[in-house]
């Protein structure tokens, strides 16, 4: 039990650290903290470095570099645990979710909800792409909308999406009021197993999604969009989420 918990925590922290490179804001903050940690390590052993940090007001006259060093490392670990299990920042890259989401919007992603419940049709989720073999998006975070659920058959033909499942064996046409830019050339017919989802971008004409690389493995799902923070004029809770009646 403890071993499994330790493994989960370690994996979450390492994945969170690796995600830093995909977020410009995180790169700046993490680079600053890394330089500060290095400076404090040197200051622990070299009086000249300690005096320099005192001069620029990073350390107090009577403060030991090691105490601030441990505090910063602890803070980094706490932040990474929060990002690994609870909430994580995300910046939209590209126009695959237009008009719902725009390039460079700053979002907060809820990672906790999917630990206790399964994704629902209409959720806007963030995931890491490993499907589809070799492509320029492998290993990157993408933002798409959940269209097909595990066990369902999804048919996309001439821009119309039809879902077949146990409750609707004859299929039903999916309402998609969030789609403004349609695409009629990408046709697909897929049946999902119990561990996969079908996702598409709202901008169907420019989205690289399950129509191209197939079903999304649930283990690669990171979370759902909780808040749109920036631009401040568009601040909103669960922006773009659509609740289906079926």
| Residues belonging to the active site | 96, 144
Q: Which residues contact 128 (CB under 8 A, 6 or more apart)?
A: 139, 140, 141, 142, 220, 222
**What Cα–Cα distance (Å) separates residue 138 from each residue in 40, 184, 196?**
37, 26, 17
Sign of CA dihedral 153, 155, 161, 164: negative
Q: Could you give the 3-state DSSP secondary structure of residue 141?
A: strand
Paired strand residues for 90: 107
Q: Do 223 and 125 contact (CB within 8 A), yes or no? A: yes
Q: Could you give the 3-state DSSP secondary structure of residue 115?
A: helix
Strands (E), 76-215: 87-91, 106-110, 124-128, 141-148, 153-157, 160-164, 172-173, 188-191, 196-200
Q: CA-to-CA distance for 25 and 19, rounded, in angstroms?
A: 11
């Amino acid at each position: 039990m403890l071993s499994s918990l330790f493994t989960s925590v370690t994996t979450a922290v390492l994945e969170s650290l690796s995600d830093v490179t995909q977020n410009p804001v995180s790169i700046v903050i993490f680079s600053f903290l890394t330089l500060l940690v290095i400076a404090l390590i040197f200051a622990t052993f070299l009086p000249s470095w300690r005096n320099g940090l005192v001069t620029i007001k990073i350390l107090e006259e009577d403060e030991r570099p090691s105490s601030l060093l441990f505090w910063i490392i602890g803070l980094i670990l706490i932040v990474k645990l929060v990002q690994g299990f609870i909430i994580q920042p995300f910046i939209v890259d590209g126009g695959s979710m237009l008009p719902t989401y725009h390039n460079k919007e700053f979002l907060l992603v809820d990672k906790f909800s999917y630990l206790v419940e399964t994704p629902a049709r209409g959720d806007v989720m963030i995931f890491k792409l490993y499907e589809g073999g070799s492509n320029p998006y492998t290993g990157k975070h993408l933002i798409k909308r959940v269209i097909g659920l595990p066990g369902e058959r999804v048919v996309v033909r001439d821009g119309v999406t039809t879902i077949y499942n146990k409750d609707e064996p004859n299929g039903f046409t999916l309402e998609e009021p969030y789609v403004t830019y349609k695409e009629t050339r990408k046709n697909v017919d897929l049946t999902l197993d119990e561990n996969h989802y079908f996702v598409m971008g709202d901008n169907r004409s420019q989205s690289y999604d399950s129509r191209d690389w197939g079903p999304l493995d649930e283990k690669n799902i990171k979370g759902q969009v909780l808040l749109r923070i920036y631009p401040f004029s568009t601040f909103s809770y669960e922006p773009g989420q659509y609740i289906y009646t079926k």
